[in-house]
Amino acid sequence: MGKNKFITSFERFGRSFLLPVSVLPAAGIISGIGSAFTNENTVSMYPFLDNVILQNVMKAFTALGSVAFDNLPIIFAVGVAVGLAQREKGSAALSGLLGFLVLHKMLNFLLVATNQLVSTEGMSSVEAKLALADKMQTTVLGIQTMDLNVFGGIITGIIVYLIHKKAIKVQLPAVVGFFSGPRFVPIVTIPVMALTAIGFILIWPMVQSGINVLSIWILKSGYVGTFLYGLIERLLLPFGLHHGLNWPVRTTELGGVWTIAGERVAGTINAYIATIETPTQFIDPMITRFSSGKFVFNMFGLPGAAYAMYKTAKPENRKIAGSLLFSAAATAFLTGITEPIEFTFLFIAPALYAVHAVLSGVTMLITTALGAAVLTPTGHGLINFIVYGVLQGFRTKWYIVPLVGVFCFFMYYFVFKFMIEKFKFKTPGREDNGEVKLASKKEARDKYGLKTLKDEPVSMKKQKEKNGSLGLHEQAIGLIDAHGGPENIEAVDACITRLRIDVKDKTIVQSNLIQEQLQALGFVESGMQMQSIYGAHANVLKMEIQDILGVGE
């Protein structure tokens, strides 16, 4: 039986954010480096930075990085439409851009027609922004319009996707047949988004008031809200649903609204970037409370859990278990990619993952309570910690992260060690058959009726004999075979770290082959969707598999 329809839709919606937000880490790093080296306090501490050429280059970095954050609504309008569309993505992208422009141009017309447009003539830029914000208006691409923020982009992307899904199949009469299919989508988008603008004028003030109330409630939830966010976010991760929770908080009013340098800023990412670009601005820990703690449990907590599993492994298995666990811990520490280690104990002992979710919430609460103020768009590891925390100076209170980290390491270590020994969990190195792996071959085959490794494709064997590892094409072919062949595959997709393949019959999927022979870092089932953890390589594999199968998105 397939996944619940609501869960599937929510998962797809969350994954549609991945394309528009994929630009944010790079833009954030560029902006972060620029603001770090132009910070007045940093320059006064290191006088050699006070060089005209260097300062201008760093200011250019700040300006380049801010391009993405200043234009998030239109990026989301295009990105969500493309992310949700299953085919003819070029048509979806064009329609997303067109729909966004039509929406705001029509809103401008309606504000003028109803005499609601705020006049900013004679005002300074700061005064103008405050006057517009007071009436929930702003300027988008030179158009004075309603301040829909990122919600406007997301809603536009969803509407365009729904238009795209229906209009792309429409076959017009022969005389206008040229406009059928993908060309018909932007044509339909224009009147639909004009009508949408009318709807916004009528109902958005009420919706915005509701969002503001919810935003205030989230902010006032304080430490309890921080704990619950950490707990729920980790519990959603195995199902791939965490994106639907994270990105609205990071990019919309749901994450909070702050006034920074006289400008109204919504969403935690936007607020943090605006803050670090303003050297004298205090960093409110409420901006970073859903991020700072992640650095702590990624860089210190999960390595503590890995060390506990290593110490509880049988002495004769510790060398092998150590290589598995410490490499996964190093990945979490350096890059913030936690799935290899999280899925290691998720598959073997789900109770350990539940404990991890609780400890994550506790860690986020403690880190926020102590005032740490470090945030990153994605990837809570050492690299981003240095860029977004250390390089931004002491106002981020970055030093709290390693201090809490020491406590967190031992908290995870002792809790995991106790749980493993008390309940005799078969973590790596504790297996009765002496094999150090997530599950024994016999157990997996008995449960899922899997084929043996004798079925491994000849091309895969030859490639492995040739260079000791799989080439992209051979790996893709192997994954197709491991999922039951082309006839068993219904859809191929990927998120940041996972290859997602929907199958008709999951009992013939060879999960052990995928992990042992096809180099996956982990594997999980979510209904009829098979999720293989490949890190950044997942998207490359997706495209190669689609090419082999002759299918598009």
3 state SS for 1-45: CCCCHHHHHHHHHHHHCHHHHCHHHHHHHHHHHHHHHHCHHHHHH
Distance CA 428, CA 159 (A): 47
Active site residue 495: yes
Helix H or strand E encompassing 291:
none
CB atoms within 10 A of CB 468: 7
Q: Using an 8 Å Cβ cutoff, are 56 and 44 in contact?
A: no
The two three-digit tokens of residue 390, written as one number: 């250390």
Distance CA 545, CA 222 (A): 46
Q: What pLDDT does 13 receive?
A: 64
Distance CA 432, CA 107 (A): 67
Q: What pLDDT does 450 receive?
A: 34
Q: What pLDDT does 521 receive?
A: 83
Distance CA 343, CA 358 (A): 16
The two three-digit tokens of residue 21, written as one number: 């937000």
Distance CA 548, CA 411 (A): 47
Q: Using an 8 Å Cβ cutoff, are 381 and 249 in contact?
A: no
User: Helix 339-348 and helix 318-335: axis angle, to 10°?
Assistant: 130
CB atoms within 10 A of CB 385: 26
The two three-digit tokens of residue 379, written as one number: 């990837």
Closest CA to 296 of 403, 389, 369: 403
DSSP code, position 483: T
Q: What is the 3-state secondary structure (H, E, C) of 365-383?
A: HHHHHCCCCCCCCCCCCHH
Q: Using an 8 Å Cβ cutoff, are 381 and 299 in contact?
A: yes
Q: What pLDDT does 433 receive?
A: 56
For the chain, list the domains and their CATH numbers: 11-214 (no CATH), 288-423 (no CATH), 442-549 (3.30.1360.60)
The two three-digit tokens of residue 72, written as one number: 């998030």
C-alpha Rg value of the chain to the nearest Å: 25
Helix H or strand E encompassing 524:
strand 522-526
Q: What pLDDT does 488 receive?
A: 94
Distance CA 214, CA 207 (A): 11
Task: Mention every residue, 6+ apart, whose C-beta is less than 8 A from residue 297.
Answer: 359, 360, 363, 364, 408, 412
The two three-digit tokens of residue 494, written as one number: 């990927």
Q: Using an 8 Å Cβ cutoff, are 533 and 340 in contact?
A: yes
Helix H or strand E encompassing 523:
strand 522-526
Q: What pLDDT does 444 receive?
A: 31
Identity of the amino acid at 488: N
The residue from 77, 495, 496, 499 that is catalytic is 495
Distance CA 167, CA 161 (A): 10
Q: What pLDDT does 76 receive?
A: 87
Q: Provide the H-helix boundaries in 336-485.
A: 339-348, 350-369, 382-388, 400-423, 441-448, 458-467, 472-482
Q: Using an 8 Å Cβ cutoff, are 530 and 501 in contact?
A: yes
C-alpha dihedral over 486, 489, 493, 495, to 10 degrees? -110
Q: Using an 8 Å Cβ cutoff, are 111 and 35 in contact?
A: no
Distance CA 72, CA 67 (A): 9
Distance CA 519, CA 450 (A): 18
Distance CA 368, CA 287 (A): 10
- CB neighbour burial string for 127-148, b if at least 16 within 10 angstroms, e if fewer: ebbbebbeebbbebeeebbbbb
Beta-strand relationship, 489-494 and 257-260:
unpaired
Q: Using an 8 Å Cβ cutoff, are 385 and 401 in contact?
A: yes
DSSP-derived 3-state class of residue 457: coil
Q: Using an 8 Å Cβ cutoff, are 413 and 422 in contact?
A: no
Distance CA 72, CA 79 (A): 10
Mean pLDDT, consecutive 10-residue stretches, the chain (553 aa), reads 55 65 73 79 76 89 83 89 85 94 96 90 74 81 88 91 87 78 91 95 85 76 88 80 75 83 84 84 89 95 93 86 82 81 73 92 95 87 89 90 96 94 83 49 36 41 48 89 93 83 92 88 85 81 86 64
Q: Using an 8 Å Cβ cutoff, are 244 and 254 in contact?
A: no
Helix (H) and strand (E) counts in the chain:
26, 8
Distance CA 68, CA 66 (A): 5
